[in-house]
Amino acid sequence: MNRRAQPGAPRPLEPARVELWCAFLADLDAEGLWERYPALLTGAERARQQRFRFAEDRRRDLAARALARTVLSRYAPVAPQAWVFEADAHGRPRIAAPRTAAPLEFNIAHSGDLVVVGVAPGNPLGVDAEHLARATDTTRLERYFSPLEIEQLRALPAHARRLRFFELWTLKESYLKARGVGLRLPLHSLAFEFPASGAVRLSLAAGIADSASRWALAQFRLRDAYVLAVCAERVGPQPLQLLVHEAVPFGSQRRLAPRLIRAAGIEAAPPRGRLESGR
C-alpha cells in the first residue's frame, strides 16, 4: 500500500457501478491496525470468531468484517460499528439496519491471504475469489460442472486445466451468490463458456427460473496469485462500470486498473489519475 486513506464525507455509490475492495492479511500486518478491528464487531460476531478452530480463520473473518463495515461507511453516513447485519437463508450477511437513502448490496469473498468486499447500488451482486495455489481435485469434474464445461476442461492439457477449473468455478460461485441460492441450485444446471478472447457466456438449463441476459459478468487476476469473478444484475442497456481498490481498514488505499480477462456487460471504469495494475 502506498497511500494513506484520507477521511471525508461518504459518497453515494453511483448507479450502474460495482466496486470491489480487496484487503490482503499481510498488508494489515504491515500497517499494524488489527487492534482497532474487534471494537467494530457485535458480541455475537466476536463469539462466532471464537468458534473457529484455527487462528488464521479467526484473522480472516475479523478482516472481512472490518473491511465490510468500513467499506459500507464510505457510501452512507453510518459509523462502521453501527451497521446491523442479519444472515439470509444461506448464511450470507446482509444489511438489516439502518435504512440508507440509497440502498446498498454487498457480498464478501475470501481465499488464502485475500478478503474481498463487493458493493453495488441495490442490485443483486455476487463475488468470488480463489487462490490459484489452493489444493483441489480437478479430476472429479462431474461434482462441479456441466457437460459443456467438462468438455472444455478435458480438451485442455493438465497444466492449463487447473487454471480453467478455477476460472469456471469462480464464475459459477459468483452467479450462485448473486442469485442468493447457494448450492441449492444444481451445479450442472448452469454453464459458462468462452466463445472468443475476452468474452464469457452464461447458459442456464431449461427449468431454471432465471434469464442469463439478466446478468453482467467480469473476471480478472489479482497479484497473479488470485482469480476473481463478479456477477451483478444489469441495470440498463449500458455496461456496468467496475472499480477495484486495495485497502487496509482505517489505513492505506489505492485504486487499481485491473485488466479484465473476460467480461460481458461490465467494463473497467475509466481511470482518474495514476492507477496501479491489478496483475
Contact 237, 15 (CB under 8 A): no
123 burial (CB, 10 Å; 0-12 / 13-18 / 19+) is middle
Q: Digits of tens for pLDDT over the chain (279 positions)?
A: 555 554 568 999 999 999 999 999 999 999 999 999 999 999 999 998 889 999 999 999 999 999 999 999 999 999 999 999 998 877 778 999 998 888 999 999 999 999 999 999 999 999 999 999 988 877 788 888 999 999 999 999 988 999 999 999 999 999 999 998 876 788 999 999 999 999 999 999 998 989 999 999 999 999 999 999 999 999 989 999 999 999 999 999 999 999 999 999 999 997 665 555 554
Q: Which domains does the chain have, with CATH numbers?
A: 17-269 (3.90.470.20)
Please state, in angstroms and rounded to a whole number, the distance separating the CA atoms of residues 227 and 165: 11
Contact 187, 143 (CB under 8 A): yes
HSE, side-chain direction, 13 A CA sphere, residue 125: 28
First to last CA, the chain: 15
